[in-house]
Amino acid sequence: MLPPRILRRLVLAPMVLVVTVFVVVTLPLWLLVVTLASLRLPPPQRRGTRLVWFGVAWLVLECGALLACLGLWVASGFGGRLRRDQYEARHYALIRWFLSKVYGVAERVFRLTVEINEPVPTTGELAARLTRPVIVLARHAGPGDSFLLVYHLLALYRRKPRIVMKAALQYDPSLDVLINRLPNAFVPRRVAESGVIDEITRLAATMDDDDALVIFPEGGNFTPRRRLLAIRRLEQKGLAREASRARGMDHLLPPRPGGAIAAIEACPSADVIFVAHTGLDDLITISDVWRRLPVAARITAQWWRVPAAEIPREHEARVRWLYDQWESIDAWIEERKMTLTDP
């Protein structure tokens, strides 16, 4: 059970500062431990020291973000003016700074490269990029994909992302403070699907022209077991057509249309952007990251925009349309994997 907010502020946030100081002081010991632990792995797989360096950098940046949040809280009259636009802009700038630094560390430590393939925009699409809100529907797989997506929305496309996240992420103090001060939502793990849809509707209904609502229609990271369970749930609900289409997708969980359709209905002027990506999606567990993280991490992404006027109007047509787009993402991933394995 998640502790009350006041307890998280008074205990978890200061604990990050204490843990960071402890880890920095004892860093040589941590490096020695992970080096010894990595000796059982083949030489190309010995990357424990990189994970430690990244973890230390993350902790230091967390401390910086928390201290900046404290400064903004004091400057806003001890929280009295935090909801004003100027402080919202400052918090988005702080998230942009934090994620840009994390991204920079990942580039150096993991040799991370991200290639984004996007359609060449027409004149009308260029004009629409920041003149109407967007709903971003992305696959969910691999470590850190949501962070990378939010980073690019902020840094590259100058959007203000809104996202519905698991409540357990509030154990991370910087996420807890920053995200709760902006139009986002945390939902408990066992909340009914209707509760998630209500939060999505709330966020979508109040979007401005430069906002981007981020939704992961699969509901969680892809694993083969989750895929089979999702197909079984569709069959149990009598959704034979959807189950059949889900069996034809090897790399994705079937999309749950409720949240995406609720967002479209709550903000009918929004364009929809679909995001496919691959590269680290085979790293499912912590063990996978420890044993199989590549020496040079490379992520390839592809996105395309569907204007609001081209989105189907009827509910059943929207469900079929969403599955059509998901099948396109699955085919794109298969093509990318075939390209990488073709000698």
pLDDT in tens, 31-78: 998 888 877 766 555 678 888 999 999 999 999 999 999 999 999 999
Q: What is the pLDDT of residue 125?
A: 61
Q: What is the pLDDT of residue 294?
A: 84
Query: What would the mean pLDDT of 126-154 be, rounded to a whole number?
Result: 84
Q: Give the whole-angstrom CA distance, residue 108 versus residue 89.
A: 29
Q: Where are the beta strands (DSSP E) in the chain?
A: 113-117, 134-138, 160-166, 185-187, 211-215, 271-278, 298-306
Tens of pLDDT along 240-284? 999 999 999 999 999 999 999 999 999 999 999 999 999 888 887
Nearest one of 220, 203, 221 to 212, comparing CA atoms = 203
- What are the structure tokens assigned to 43, written together? 């030489």
Nearest one of 94, 48, 42 to 70, comparing CA atoms = 94
Distances (CA, A) of 27 to 12, 32, 244, 293: 22, 9, 52, 22
Q: What is the pLDDT of residue 277?
A: 93
Residue whose token pair is 């793990």 = 189
Instruction: Please say if the pLDDT value at position 341 is more than 80.
Output: no
Q: Give the whole-angstrom CA distance, residue 188 versus residue 38.
A: 36
The answer for residues whose C-beta is within 8 angstroms of residue 299's C-beta and 6 or more apart is 112, 113, 114, 115, 142, 148, 277, 278, 279, 280
Nearest one of 246, 305, 251 to 278, comparing CA atoms = 251
Query: What would the mean pLDDT of 20-26 be, rounded to a whole number?
Result: 96
Q: Is 8 helix (H, G, I), strand (E, B) or coil?
A: helix
Measured in degrees and rounded to the nearest 5, phi and psi for residue 186 equal -110, 135
Residue 198's Cα: distance from chain center in Å?
20
CA 32-38-44 angle, to 5 degrees, is 125
Q: pLDDT above 70 covers what percent of the chain?
A: 94
- What are the structure tokens assigned to 126, written together? 């260029």
Name the average pLDDT for the chain.
90
Tens of pLDDT along 182-216? 999 999 877 778 889 999 999 999 999 999 999 99
Q: What is the pLDDT of residue 126?
A: 61
Tens of pLDDT along 134-145? 999 999 887 788
The answer for residues whose C-beta is within 8 angstroms of residue 139's C-beta and 6 or more apart is 145, 216, 218, 222, 252, 275, 276, 277, 329, 333
Question: CA 176, 180, 185, 191 torsion: positive or negative?
Answer: positive
Question: pTM above the 0.85 mark?
Answer: yes
Tens of pLDDT along 102-120? 999 999 999 999 999 988 7
